[in-house]
Structure 1
Amino acid sequence: MFVTHILFIFCAISRVTSEIKISDEDYKLLPPIFHIDPYDKCLQENKTFCRISIKLSPSKNKTKIWNLIEETKISKRFYNHDELYYAICVENGQKNETLSELYTNKFKNASLRATVVEINCQEHKYEIKTFDILVLTCIILYLLLILVATLYHLKTPNGHKFLILFSPWHNFQNLKRNFKQRNCEKLKCIQGIRFYTTVLIIFCHTFCSYSGGYIANTKYLEDFPQNFIRHGLRNLFVFLVQTFFLVSGWLLSYNTFKIFDKTKRGDFFKYWCLTFLNRYLRLIPPVLLMVSLGTSVWIYGSFHGPIKYVYSDREYERCQRSWWVIFLFLSNHYQQHDMCYFTNWYLSADTQLYAISLVLLIIILKFERLRVRIMTIFLLIGIFIPSLVAFFYELDIIYRITPENSKNNLFQSFEFSATYTSTYSNMATYILGLILGYVYFRLENRPVFGKKHFVLLWYILVIGLPLSVIIISSFEFNRVASALLAGILKPLYALGIGIGIFGMSQQIGGFLKSLCEWKPALFLGNVTYSTYVVHFGIVFSRTALATKPLPVSDYVLFVSFVEDTVWSFLCGFLMHLLVEMPASQLQKMLVPKFSHGSEKKIKK
Structure 2
Amino acid sequence: MDTTLFTFIIFLYFSLVSSDNHRNLPPIYEMEDYLGCFERNDFYCKVDARLTNNGYENNSLWKLINDSISDRNSYDRTIIHRAICLPKREVNLNSTKKLSEFRINEKFTGNNLTVLVEDIVCNTKDNLNISLYDQLLLFFFIAYLLLIIYATMYDRWKRTSTAGSTKNKAIIALSLSSNWRKMCNTDGNEDYIKLKSIQGIRFYNMLLIISVHTLLSFNIVYISNPNDLEILFNNSIMRNYTTMSVFFVQTFFLISSWIVTFQIYNIYRSHGKFTISQALILIFNRFIRIGVCSTAMLLFLKSTWNNLARGPINFDAIDMVQRACKLNWWQSFFLINNYLYLGEICHPPSWYLSVDFQLYIMTTITIYLILKFKLNEFKIISFLIFFSCLLYGSIIYMKEMDTIYRINHNVTRMFLFVRSESCRILYLSTYSNWTTSLVGILLGIAYTKSKNNNIVSNKNRKIISILWFLIFFGLPCAVIFLARHEFTGIRAAILGALVKPLFSLGIGIGILGMSHKMGGLIKHICENKCVVLMSNFSFCTYVFQFYVIFSKGIESYSLMQFELINLIKYYLLFDAPLAIIFGIICTLVFEQPGINLQKIFLPQIARRKEQRKRE
| Pairing 1:142-541 to 2, within 5 Å after superposition | 142-158=144-160, 160-179=168-187, 185-265=193-273, 268-298=275-305, 300-333=306-339, 338-407=344-413, 408-450=415-457, 451=460, 452-541=462-551
Partner of 1:572: 583
Task: Give the whole-Å Cα distance in 2 for the aligned partners of 1:387 and 1:546.
Answer: 45
Q: Deviation at 1:179? A: 4.8
* CA displacement, residues 53-72 of structure 1 (integer Å, 9 cap, x when unaligned): 34334565545543332221
- Structure 1 residues 99 and 186: alpha-carbon distance in aligned structure 2, compared to 1, 3 A threshold: closer
* Of 568, 592, 596, the match for 1:581: 592
- Structure 1 residues 99 and 244: alpha-carbon distance in aligned structure 2, compared to 1, 3 A threshold: closer
Task: Give the whole-Å Cα distance in 2 for the aligned partners of 1:102 and 1:360.
Answer: 59
Q: Deviation at 1:234? A: 0.5
- Structure 1 residues 236 and 148: alpha-carbon distance in aligned structure 2, compared to 1, 3 A threshold: same
Partner of 2:83: 87
Q: Which residue type is aligned with residue 68 of structure 1?
A: L
- Structure 1 residues 86 and 411: alpha-carbon distance in aligned structure 2, compared to 1, 3 A threshold: closer
* CA displacement, residues 468-517 of structure 1 (integer Å, 9 cap, x when unaligned): 11111111113000001111110011001001101111111133222211
Is the partner of 1:404 in helix, strand or coil? coil
Q: Which residue type is aligned with residue 445 of structure 2?
A: Y
Partner of 2:123: 123
Q: Which residue type is aligned with residue 136 of structure 2?
A: L
Q: Deviation at 1:338? A: 2.0
The worse-fitting range, judged by mean Cα deviation, of 124-133 and 592-601 is 592-601
C-alpha contact 1:56 1:112 (8 A) present in aligned 2: no
Partner of 2:26: 31
- Structure 1 residues 153 and 123: alpha-carbon distance in aligned structure 2, compared to 1, 3 A threshold: same
- Structure 1 residues 137 and 582: alpha-carbon distance in aligned structure 2, compared to 1, 3 A threshold: same
C-alpha contact 1:53 1:119 (8 A) present in aligned 2: yes
* CA displacement, residues 334-358 of structure 1 (integer Å, 9 cap, x when unaligned): 6765211111111111111111111
Q: Deviation at 1:121? A: 5.8
Q: Which residue type is aligned with residue 504 of structure 2?
A: A
Task: Give the whole-Å Cα distance in 2 for the aligned partners of 1:527 and 1:118.
Answer: 41
Q: Which residue type is aligned with residue 575 of structure 1?
A: C
Task: Give the whole-Å Cα distance in 2 for the aligned partners of 1:112 and 1:509.
Answer: 65
Q: Deviation at 1:303? A: 3.1
* CA displacement, residues 15-51 of structure 1 (integer Å, 9 cap, x when unaligned): xxxxx98733432322210111120111113333222
C-alpha contact 2:324 2:343 (8 A) present in aligned 1: no
Specify every segment of 5 or more residues in structure 2 that has no aligned partner in the other structure, as ranges: 1-13, 162-167
C-alpha contact 1:390 1:486 (8 A) present in aligned 2: yes
Task: Give the whole-Å Cα distance in 1 for the aligned partners of 2:518 and 2:370.
Answer: 31
- Structure 1 residues 163 and 107: alpha-carbon distance in aligned structure 2, compared to 1, 3 A threshold: same
Partner of 1:8: none
Q: Deviation at 1:246? A: 0.3
* CA displacement, residues 244-275 of structure 1 (integer Å, 9 cap, x when unaligned): 00000101111111221243225x11111111
Is the partner of 1:117 in helix, strand or coil? strand
C-alpha contact 2:200 2:527 (8 A) present in aligned 1: yes
* CA displacement, residues 445-488 of structure 1 (integer Å, 9 cap, x when unaligned): 22233321211111111111111111111111130000011111
The yes-or-no answer on 1:113 pairing with 2:124 is no
Task: Give the whole-Å Cα distance in 2 for the aligned partners of 1:272 and 1:119.
Answer: 46
Task: Give the whole-Å Cα distance in 2 for the aligned partners of 1:62 and 1:403.
Answer: 29
Give the aligned length.
582
C-alpha contact 2:311 2:553 (8 A) present in aligned 1: no
Task: Give the whole-Å Cα distance in 1 for the aligned partners of 2:46 and 2:600.
Answer: 53
- Structure 1 residues 466 and 453: alpha-carbon distance in aligned structure 2, compared to 1, 3 A threshold: same
Task: Give the whole-Å Cα distance in 2 for the aligned partners of 1:603 and 1:292.
Answer: 40
Task: Give the whole-Å Cα distance in 1 for the aligned partners of 2:539 and 2:381.
Answer: 28
Partner of 1:15: none
* Of 136, 151, 159, the match for 2:138: 136
Is the partner of 1:430 in helix, strand or coil? helix
- Structure 1 residues 100 and 184: alpha-carbon distance in aligned structure 2, compared to 1, 3 A threshold: closer
Q: Which residue type is aligned with residue 297 of structure 2?
A: M
C-alpha contact 1:466 1:492 (8 A) present in aligned 2: yes
What percentage of residue pairs aligned between the two structures are identical? 29
Task: Give the whole-Å Cα distance in 2 for the aligned partners of 1:77 and 1:204.
Answer: 20
* CA displacement, residues 334-392 of structure 1 (integer Å, 9 cap, x when unaligned): 67652111111111111111111111101111233422221111111221111010011
Is the partner of 2:30 in helix, strand or coil? strand
The worse-fitting range, judged by mean Cα deviation, of 317-326 and 520-529 is 317-326
* CA displacement, residues 203-261 of structure 1 (integer Å, 9 cap, x when unaligned): 11111111122222212332234322111111111111000000001011111112212
Q: Deviation at 1:182? A: 8.5
Q: Which residue type is aligned with residue 69 of structure 1?
A: I
- Structure 1 residues 438 and 97: alpha-carbon distance in aligned structure 2, compared to 1, 3 A threshold: closer
The yes-or-no answer on 1:548 pairing with 2:550 is no
* CA displacement, residues 550-596 of structure 1 (integer Å, 9 cap, x when unaligned): 22222111112121111111010001111111111111122222134
Partner of 2:4: none
- Structure 1 residues 335 and 465: alpha-carbon distance in aligned structure 2, compared to 1, 3 A threshold: closer
Task: Give the whole-Å Cα distance in 2 for the aligned partners of 1:447 and 1:260.
Answer: 23
The worse-fitting range, judged by mean Cα deviation, of 492-501 and 364-373 is 364-373
Specify every segment of 5 or more residues in structure 1 that has no aligned partner in the other structure, as ranges: 1-19
| Pairing 1:16-55 to 2, within 5 Å after superposition | 23-55=18-50
* CA displacement, residues 401-457 of structure 1 (integer Å, 9 cap, x when unaligned): 122222223344332121111111100000110010000011112223332121111
- Structure 1 residues 50 and 368: alpha-carbon distance in aligned structure 2, compared to 1, 3 A threshold: same
Structure with higher RCO (Cα < 8 A, 6+ apart): 1
Is the partner of 2:46 in helix, strand or coil? strand
The worse-fitting range, judged by mean Cα deviation, of 541-550 and 96-105 is 96-105
Q: Which residue type is aligned with residue 350 of structure 1?
A: D
C-alpha contact 1:286 1:579 (8 A) present in aligned 2: yes
Q: Deviation at 1:535? A: 0.5
C-alpha contact 1:99 1:116 (8 A) present in aligned 2: no
C-alpha contact 2:180 2:588 (8 A) present in aligned 1: yes
C-alpha contact 2:283 2:361 (8 A) present in aligned 1: yes
